Structure 1
Amino acid sequence: MRVLGIETPPARNECFDLLELFLFVSPGQSATPTPRGLALALDLPPPATIEADFLHTLLNALLLRLRSARETPAGATMRIFLPVLSAAGWIWTATVEEALGPGPANQPALDAVRIWRRLPKWEDEAPRPPPSSFPVTSAEARARLAALLGPEAETRPGQADFASVAAGAFDPRRTVGSPHLVLAEAGTGTGKTLGYVAPASLWAERNGGTVWISTYTRHLQRQIEQELTRLHPDPAARRNAVVVRKGRENYLCLLNMEDAVNTAASRGDSSGPALIALALLARWAEISSDGDLLGGDLPGWFGELFGAGTVFAVADRRGECIHGACPHYQRCFVEHTIRRARVADLVIANHALVMAQAAWTASSPDDVPEEDAPPTRYVFDEGHHLPDAADGAFALVLSGLQTAELRRWLLGAEGSRSRARGIARRLEDLVATFPALDPPLNAVLQAARALPAPGWSSRLRAPDAEQAHVDGLPANPAEAFLAALKHQLDAREATRAASPHRGTDSECDLHPADPSLADAAEAFSRALNRLTTPLETLIQRLHDQLEDDAENLDSAARSRIEGAIRALRRRALNRVQGWIALLDSTAVPPEPGERPVHVDFIRAERLPGRGPFGGEHDIGLHRHWLDPTLPFAAVMRAPAHGLLITSATLRDQPGRDQPGETGTESEEAAWAAAETRLGATHFPAPAIRAALMSPFDYARQTRAYVIADLPRDDLPALAGAYRDLFLAAGGGALGLFTAISRLRAVHARIAGPLDEAGLPLYAQHVDAMDNATLIDIFRTEIDSCLLGTDAMRDGVDVPGEALRMVVFERTPWPRADILHRERRLHLSHGQPGAYDDRLARMKLRQAFGRLIRKTSDRGVFVMLDRRMPSRLAAAFPKGVTLRRMGISEAIADIRDFLDSAAPDTISPSRKANFP
């Protein structure tokens, strides 16, 4: 709008948005949502300076694509969507019809968006035999790596050594429950992705097995998938050999899509914008490789064009999948992906999914189908995140939202417009066939009414809620328990701090529990036990049906019953049993002086705005493992034959001598601390250790500064420092924050000045786009700036001039909450300060690692917290000296350093500043 000179954005039906046209013409193609990004996607060379006239060039390129498709099957598919888009008032319809030809006559408009009628069906295949166990030698791993890289590839010191080390995770297992464990730290630039893909792919091909490659975020999954084009250049071969697996909530749900289409149709003329969004979504779904809405081939900016709610509405965000009872079951994207993964060589997953799958297999081995036997080989990339991932995967939360969601899942929507059907609707076909299911089903429905009823949150926050607690507990045992939690929290609250993830939280210890809380917990436990008994009976009778009618059940019916059993266990029984154990321990404080296994506390929070629970208040009882790698190791020991855990930052202070220690002693201490933190000590066999150094000359390529004259809590001064530093770098700057509130405040103050200087500013928690799209824009627009929190600190790969500065707003100390307090006390080996330092250094190492991704890169790291201790400088690579100086002096030094780079590596905005 700034380039066009438009102050007030026009209405949707008055604005020709090129992104919407691109979605229609090239659905599923990646494109950064900027003029330069569209140009690159359309194979056009973008000019150095983009003016408004360039939009016409982009339009002409899109129209050319349309005209060239006119007589092709793709053109015929596009014309199918024109009636519905025309009826919905899409502003591009006439333009598209002129280039492509008119849509089919007499076609019902909504037929185009009913894609569930046209998508291919999956068919069951025989289970894959178990893999053999032939090893991959170091020489073979190196040879496969060389073949992947090709003769013209840049030589990366250490990459072949890394592949050799990684091969050790694929040796045959020698003892049950004792997998080979390889810890490999590979410095930035080593090329670790292809380094582990080499032995992993070779082992999978040789043994007929599947290797699961796990990373931390959806964005990193996509990065790994893109790297695998070297292994399988042909897209069809790659689709068969490589599968990306995520949680069900990431994919398009065809039943939700059908409901959304029917709802839009029922609204008549007022449904235009909704129908446009659904039509473009259907256009994408028909060509999508896997129906992945979040981080897949749907552009991440779709939600910004049509609202994030549009995307969330067509995903299964509340666990309402009805599996085999769904009329679209055999066309389901998730089921397609699950079946492809069973026979793939490489499955790219995330830590949370891997842990959830392993935990489910360990807890309910009889309910795991033969074809879903767990893999035997795992690669954990970004392995430094394993403790955090395990903490989230194995924690237990008994909260208002969790319990209300279970009620909703069991009873269905109570007076709302949601399509939540409840288990009575989901099991009605089975009950009709097997009447013995009816009594326990009715008992489950009756017992579920003890869970929080709709409106519980408003009642809990009502002004008279406290008095109601004093006068007598509510009749509903769940709401009585929540009221008792709130009563104790209000009385004892010790923490109310800004969290970078959750806004403002408050928490207090559970023990010693208030007598009224103990009474409420006991009453709620009895109510949940009344729910557990009929759930167990219902599951057992479904099992009995599988055995008694084995000869009469076809594969579809058997699959339907097995799916119902798994859903009842996962969604209800296992969760309720965990809650009962938590409630029963409420009145029993831990023994004084003993190291606890769990940490229990009460927390109230307001959840972030995006997603099914966005903006809602919650309160609950939380139980975390003191050492979350203990359950991780417990569930991985049995299925795994080999695990590779790798990252650029497995250890703290690698190669730095500790005071009073020799270099060898320091190395050993660093490895011992890493093994403890990653859970390697919980595996029977000792880990194989390896460290491959980064090939970069950090002393030459980087500078690191601490600004010594910036007031700590002066927001205008903080914003001014960000502004001046970003201007000094000419863009290409990443600003990292430890609090969302400060990020937003700084963004509001500096967006205007940077825009006037021609430096676009983007921000996580401000812009509606997902993190992957923000990073894509940042990478494409090399003079842009980006603000973010933790998610932007780890795993972001932005080589070249697009990232030449990282600015950290405060020392990233661990959040001082109850959970950290207990871990600091019991896991620090009597050195709580050193424990805090180690966590902070690891975050600094990750942030610094964003700067240099190639040998030609140059970059500066700036810490704006003058109180950062000098001892944390060990986080930076050898040769990097931490310079403490005032902001003006630092800016002058930064300009000199960046301007001294080779001319062909300097961005246009910086060249413009040269004399």
Structure 2
Amino acid sequence: MASAPRLVLPDVPVLVAGVGRAVLLTRDGEIETLPAAAAARAVQGAAPMLVHAPATARRLGLNGLGEAHDLLELFAFCRPAESCAPTPRGLALALDLPQPKDEAAAAALLPEIATLLLRHLADGRDHPRNRDAAGLAARMGEAGWPWATSVLAALGEPKAKPDARAYKVWRRLPEWEDAAPAPPAASFTVEPAEARRRLAEILGPDAEQRPQQADYASAAAAAFAPRAHPGAPALVLAEAGTGTGKTLGYVAPASLWAERNGAPVWISTYTRNLQRQIDQETARLFPDPEERRRRVVLRKGRENYLCLLNLDDMTSGVPVPHLAVALGLVARWALATRDGDLLGGDFPGWMVELFGPGAILPLADRRGECIRSACPHYKACYVEHSIRRAQAARIVVANHALVMVQAALGGGGEDGAPLRIVFDEGHHLFDAADSAFSADLTGAEMTELRRWLLGAEGGRSRARGLRRRLEELIGEKPELNAQLEAALQAARALPVPGWTTRLAQPSRAAAGEEAPNPAEAFLRAAREQVLARTQEAREAGLYDSECDLFPLTEDLPVAADALARALHRLEQPLVLLRDRLAARLEEEAAELEVGDRIRIESAARSIENRALRPLRAWRQMLATIAADPPAPGERPTFVDWLSLLRRGGQEADAGMHRHHLDPTEPFAAAVAAPAHGLLITSATLRDEAEAAEDDPDIAWREAEARTGAAHLPIPAIRAAVPSPFDYAARTRCLVVTDVAKENTGQVAAAFQALFLAAGGGGLGLFTAIRRLRDVHARIAGPLEEAGIPLYAQHVDAMDNSTLVDVFRAEEQACLLGTDAMRDGVDVPGRALRLLVFDRVPWPRPTILHRERRLHLSGGRPKEYDDRVARHRLRQAFGRLIRRADDKGVFVMLDARCPSRLLHGLPPGVLIRRLGLAQAVAETRAFLAEG
């Protein structure tokens, strides 16, 4: 029987780590600052209270801390599906507490944070989602969770018994219900004046007047006009400068069209950050949370969502202690989450860092193993919920990858083909299409197909093979069982587990020996050709290597022919299996239950999409090897090459790759042409530096080429709305002329001096991970001594979105990153006031880039390279100013940066070339003004 709740804190020291040192709040209440080694000895075996144990251990230079009272774990239990940056300041911000000014203040604050979290749990112990909380906490305590005693006391159940049923969250989840098919969408238009009025309604009467936003909404309305001809969507290319407010600008006509025509508008982004930002902006359109949940749906690929069957599998029996705690926190989240999105939704990204990817990532269906209606949790499935909610929604917020992949799989996939699509971050359409419409005949891809077909072949994997997924559907039908057996036997021609260890071994096919595996023989031949054609320095090495497909070595055509025949033997029974499963839908129409029909349709579709499509693509690629080589300089439809990938100096993969020379061609055919209306928008659609007096349209034509608009039959409507920001007054661009970019010591010293001058709030962007790590190692300690925490991608035990959350929450922090930190990062205010590039971000000199540079540059290959670099600089510059009152300094440490690249920055930006000392002084003075 429950008793009165009590707030019981553990009697342990409190630890807050810097780089190489730590602040310790002892049990006696004394604050001590200790070197890393001394701090580690002081807390050994004491289970200290801290925030983010892996990051704390790394900052102290340790492999681990052992048991600890990690406040992030307590936060995840007490406030599931809520967000916080995984630092003391981040927790303080999430709980509306004053942010600590230094490490000593942070150490003093941690017990107060623990008290607040436990009080929140005690106050809400009667909430329905806390019904099983005590049994779950007791089970986690049994597995060694340090917080269990405190949590049980707060719940008023200090003697609760462990209850493994508390992991079975599907018992508490709502079930979806099918609805009648939606009627066809109407074709009512949205007039520009109506879009303006809807925007005004969304913003409210007290909103700031922003003429540019209303102009943008008016232009965007043209994308919602009725389609006049098949294959010719109403198309608008709209560039909206940073600060225009383009999200609500296109939401206004989109929501109006959805209301009038009874079909959702899909909004697609390239980055998860923007997807989340758009979802938050729609609260202005639907202030009521329940209505917003019905009207706005986030859609991602199935691999992003928690799979309840995988959770069931992982919690069956007695999980190892480490997993029991992680899965307990997942179970808490599963009862509170909005949509079950494990990657980028309301699931804390730092959970993966605390427990490792092996505890979290297998919970999603990342390998295409879903058994649909055969799953006992099908009616509670998060993915099925989101698909059905999307059908009745007004706004569906998706990503380019999902939209492209569903089109590549034959037009719409599970969600159907959307009629109206807004592509935000439209400057990334080329890259998104390049990924979606490419093919890779590599060891990793073939191994994944083998695992999908054969399931686990030893080890601890729980992978389900095709036999297990189909056994109830094929039953005792001999014709289906025969094809399944033939396919599974043929699948053994794919790489055998452990193939990477045999990659460098010579192929043996002597008399009496087993015939070589055809897939492994092909990979070995591909590897040999790469090594033969690349520089000797890289053979030893640390770097990936690649070479042209032609001319061929002697072994490759023989190996390719053997593999092509093996893949054909695999494809034939799979085609028959798919066709005969599909035939059951007609032959047994009168006997089949609805659930069985769904399972048969899903099984046939998964065989087609997961196996037959890649097999056809691979055979076409292998056929190229047997064909005549292309003539020098001939424009190809595809670019083919061979590669050898290395990880940590070890060979990790090899194979053949195929990309469209121009991936916007399949995008235009598969995605754009079937739609009725498209809005492609971005702050950086055009490269205005390319515009010439004698040809002012060249920048627009380039934008049309990069977005696929040039491949559609009706010209796009063009619109450009300038940014309202005063870049001349609010920004500076400095090119440092006396730092040798090849000298890591000089580059590190420059970063340190600039970050100190700005007092934090600096984002450093690198074009190579190795240089990032070298610079971080040199400057992290000195910056920490100055009160500036330094975080870094590829160094800290955090994913990118978590690092950005930390950077946003801690105004004095600095962050180092690579490409992923350049786009889609929204950090308004003083948290980002300085941006430093280590060198010009030229495109990587790959074979694919070489061919596109040659054939897509219009005879101007140098301008093609410039355009890529200029675009990257402009995108990075756009991170600096997110609000009218922001100020920022952009610094390039590459003295050889051509002036023509900086002409792509917003008009009015003052650009100066000066020495490092002057740049530091100007940065300090400019950011201190006002």
Bin for the TM-score computed over the shorter chain:
over 0.9
Equivalent position of 1:112 in the other structure:
166
| Residues in 2 aligned to 1:833 and 1:420: alpha-carbon distance in whole angstroms | 49
| Residues in 2 aligned to 1:182 and 1:25: alpha-carbon distance in whole angstroms | 47
Query: CA, structure 1 residues 453+540, in 2 after alignment: closer, same or farther (shift >3 Å)?
Result: same
Tell me by how many angstroms 1:234 deviates. 1.4
The answer to whether the aligner puts 1:195 opposite 2:249 as a matched pair is yes
Equivalent position of 1:222 in the other structure:
276
- Equivalent position SS for 1:704: strand
| Residues in 1 aligned to 2:159 and 2:666: alpha-carbon distance in whole angstroms | 58
Of 516, 521, 524, 1:483 maps to: 524
Query: CA, structure 1 residues 497+732, in 2 after alignment: closer, same or farther (shift >3 Å)?
Result: farther
Equivalent position of 2:110 in the other structure:
55
The alignment's TM-score, normalised by the length of structure 2, stands at: 0.91
Of 532, 536, 559, 2:571 maps to: 532
Equivalent position of 1:340 in the other structure:
389
Equivalent position of 2:434 in the other structure:
391
Query: CA, structure 1 residues 699+443, in 2 after alignment: closer, same or farther (shift >3 Å)?
Result: same
Tell me by how many angstroms 1:323 deviates. 2.4
- Between stretches 471-480 and 409-418, larger displacement belongs to 471-480
Tell me by how many angstroms 1:75 deviates. 4.2
**Amino acid corresponding to residue 42 of structure 1 in structure 2:** L
Q: Deviations over 1:388-433 (max 9, x none)?
A: 0110110110000101111111111112221112111110001116
Of 274, 291, 294, 2:340 maps to: 291
Gaps of 5+ in 2: 1-16, 25-32, 48-65
| Residues in 2 aligned to 1:819 and 1:374: alpha-carbon distance in whole angstroms | 31
| Residues in 2 aligned to 1:496 and 1:163: alpha-carbon distance in whole angstroms | 55
The alignment's TM-score, normalised by the length of structure 1, stands at: 0.92
Equivalent position of 2:839 in the other structure:
810
Equivalent position of 1:605 in the other structure:
645
Q: Deviations over 1:572-625 (max 9, x none)?
A: 01110111011011132123442110000001113699xxxxx98111100010
Equivalent position of 2:71 in the other structure:
18
Query: CA, structure 1 residues 608+624, in 2 after alignment: closer, same or farther (shift >3 Å)?
Result: farther
- Equivalent position SS for 2:625: coil
Q: Deviations over 1:58-78 (max 9, x none)?
A: 222223212212344354343
Tell me by how many angstroms 1:149 deviates. 1.1
Tell me by how many angstroms 1:474 deviates. 5.8
Query: CA, structure 1 residues 729+418, in 2 after alignment: closer, same or farther (shift >3 Å)?
Result: same
Equivalent position of 2:581 in the other structure:
542
Number of aligned residue pairs: 873
Equivalent position of 1:905 in the other structure:
none
- Output aligned runs, 1:529-678, within 5 Å: 529-588=568-627, 589-606=629-646, 617-653=652-688, 658=692, 661=693, 665-666=695-696, 668-678=697-707
- Between stretches 754-763 and 336-345, larger displacement belongs to 336-345
Of 350, 355, 365, 1:306 maps to: 355
Equivalent position of 1:612 in the other structure:
none
- Output aligned runs, 1:724-803, within 5 Å: 724-803=753-832
Q: Deviations over 1:15-70 (max 9, x none)?
A: 22221111111000111222232223223343555442122222222232122123
Equivalent position of 1:909 in the other structure:
none
- Tell me the C-alpha RMSD between the 2 structures: 2.3
- Residue 233 of structure 2 contacts residue 672 of structure 2 at CA under 8 Å; is this kept in 1? yes
- Output aligned runs, 1:216-365, within 5 Å: 216-262=270-316, 265=318, 271-362=320-411
| Residues in 2 aligned to 1:60 and 1:745: alpha-carbon distance in whole angstroms | 40
- Equivalent position SS for 1:875: coil
**Amino acid corresponding to residue 359 of structure 1 in structure 2:** A
- Output aligned runs, 1:107-146, within 5 Å: 109-146=163-200
Overall identity of the aligned pairs, in %:
58
Equivalent position of 2:559 in the other structure:
520
| Residues in 2 aligned to 1:3 and 1:130: alpha-carbon distance in whole angstroms | 64
Q: Deviations over 1:816-871 (max 9, x none)?
A: 01000000000111111011101110000001111111111110000011111111
- Residue 603 of structure 1 contacts residue 619 of structure 1 at CA under 8 Å; is this kept in 2? yes
- Between stretches 397-406 and 285-294, larger displacement belongs to 285-294
Gaps of 5+ in 1: 610-614, 903-915
Query: CA, structure 1 residues 131+608, in 2 after alignment: closer, same or farther (shift >3 Å)?
Result: farther
| Residues in 1 aligned to 2:576 and 2:661: alpha-carbon distance in whole angstroms | 34
Tell me by how many angstroms 1:880 deviates. 1.4
- Output aligned runs, 1:352-431, within 5 Å: 352-362=401-411, 372-431=415-474
- Equivalent position SS for 1:747: helix
Query: CA, structure 1 residues 496+111, in 2 after alignment: closer, same or farther (shift >3 Å)?
Result: farther
Query: CA, structure 1 residues 261+103, in 2 after alignment: closer, same or farther (shift >3 Å)?
Result: farther
- Residue 731 of structure 2 contacts residue 910 of structure 2 at CA under 8 Å; is this kept in 1? no
- Residue 495 of structure 1 contacts residue 507 of structure 1 at CA under 8 Å; is this kept in 2? no
Tell me by how many angstroms 1:657 deviates. 5.3
Equivalent position of 2:51 in the other structure:
none
**Amino acid corresponding to residue 30 of structure 1 in structure 2:** S
- Equivalent position SS for 2:107: coil
Of 148, 154, 166, 1:99 maps to: 154
- Residue 495 of structure 1 contacts residue 817 of structure 1 at CA under 8 Å; is this kept in 2? no
Query: CA, structure 1 residues 430+14, in 2 after alignment: closer, same or farther (shift >3 Å)?
Result: closer
- Between stretches 722-731 and 115-124, larger displacement belongs to 115-124
- Residue 371 of structure 2 contacts residue 599 of structure 2 at CA under 8 Å; is this kept in 1? no
Of 831, 854, 867, 1:825 maps to: 854
Tell me by how many angstroms 1:436 deviates. 2.8
| Residues in 2 aligned to 1:178 and 1:657: alpha-carbon distance in whole angstroms | 28
- Residue 72 of structure 2 contacts residue 86 of structure 2 at CA under 8 Å; is this kept in 1? yes
**Amino acid corresponding to residue 378 of structure 1 in structure 2:** I
- Residue 544 of structure 2 contacts residue 645 of structure 2 at CA under 8 Å; is this kept in 1? yes
Equivalent position of 2:92 in the other structure:
39
- Equivalent position SS for 1:604: strand
Tell me by how many angstroms 1:567 deviates. 0.5
Query: CA, structure 1 residues 635+14, in 2 after alignment: closer, same or farther (shift >3 Å)?
Result: closer
| Residues in 2 aligned to 1:503 and 1:689: alpha-carbon distance in whole angstroms | 46
Equivalent position of 1:167 in the other structure:
221
- Residue 138 of structure 2 contacts residue 152 of structure 2 at CA under 8 Å; is this kept in 1? no
Tell me by how many angstroms 1:495 deviates. 10
| Residues in 1 aligned to 2:73 and 2:672: alpha-carbon distance in whole angstroms | 49
| Residues in 2 aligned to 1:297 and 1:557: alpha-carbon distance in whole angstroms | 34
Query: CA, structure 1 residues 261+755, in 2 after alignment: closer, same or farther (shift >3 Å)?
Result: same
Equivalent position of 1:845 in the other structure:
874
| Residues in 2 aligned to 1:295 and 1:397: alpha-carbon distance in whole angstroms | 26
Equivalent position of 1:451 in the other structure:
494
- Equivalent position SS for 2:208: coil
- Equivalent position SS for 1:685: coil
- Residue 240 of structure 2 contacts residue 720 of structure 2 at CA under 8 Å; is this kept in 1? yes
Of 449, 462, 465, 2:506 maps to: 465
Equivalent position of 2:82 in the other structure:
29
- Equivalent position SS for 1:878: coil
- Residue 673 of structure 2 contacts residue 712 of structure 2 at CA under 8 Å; is this kept in 1? no
Query: CA, structure 1 residues 111+360, in 2 after alignment: closer, same or farther (shift >3 Å)?
Result: same
Query: CA, structure 1 residues 495+582, in 2 after alignment: closer, same or farther (shift >3 Å)?
Result: farther
**Amino acid corresponding to residue 742 of structure 2 in structure 1:** D
| Residues in 1 aligned to 2:185 and 2:648: alpha-carbon distance in whole angstroms | 43
- Residue 171 of structure 1 contacts residue 642 of structure 1 at CA under 8 Å; is this kept in 2? yes
| Residues in 2 aligned to 1:467 and 1:413: alpha-carbon distance in whole angstroms | 27
- Output aligned runs, 1:494-505, within 5 Å: 504-505=543-544
- Equivalent position SS for 2:547: strand
Equivalent position of 2:726 in the other structure:
697
